[in-house]
Amino acid sequence: MDHRDIQSRTSHWYDSFNENQMLATIDELEVNDEIIDVSVSCIFQVCPTCDGKGHHVNPSIDSNGITAEEWNRDWSHEDRENYITGFYDIDCYECCGKRVVPIPDKYTNKPEILKAIEDAEHAEYIYACERIREVEMGY
């Protein structure tokens, strides 16, 4: 499973983000068995999906890699040149071309809020992986 495909099927961990205030809001976060609305102070991190480039190859082109045999057998010289020069690149699924993404500031937010965000992100990741697997298996 390609991490870019998973990212395209998951939403941001927050519901809205105010870049001027570096505050993310989350509606209905489960914290200690209670559902709350919360504001989370953030910092920027280099986007892990595109490594700060703002773009990546469309996963439909090279999902799960291209072997040397495929590269030499199936790709024309023009296709290889297009791949190398970024012709098949698209805006990053995670940062939408901004090169950075907001993450919760671990120094200013309560540990239970950080844990709840992490748990919610993990659950969404698992759900996205299951959806992709179902599609790949023809369900």
> Does a structural domain hold residue 37?
yes
**Residue 138, pLDDT score:** 80
> Does a structural domain hold residue 72?
no
The first and second tokens of residue 36, run together, are: 């709350």
> Does a structural domain hold residue 61?
no
**Residue 136, pLDDT score:** 79
Q: In terms of residue numbers, what domain contains 46?
A: 12-51+99-137
> Does a structural domain hold residue 58?
no
- Chunked in runs of 10, what are the mean pLDDT values of the chain (139 residues)? 76 93 96 94 97 94 89 93 95 95 97 96 88 80
pTM for this predicted structure: 0.79
> Does a structural domain hold residue 19?
yes
> Does a structural domain hold residue 116?
yes
Structural domains counted in the chain: 1
Distance, first Cα to last Cα, the chain: 16
Compute the distance between CA of residue 92 and CA of residue 46 in angstroms, rounded to an integer.
12
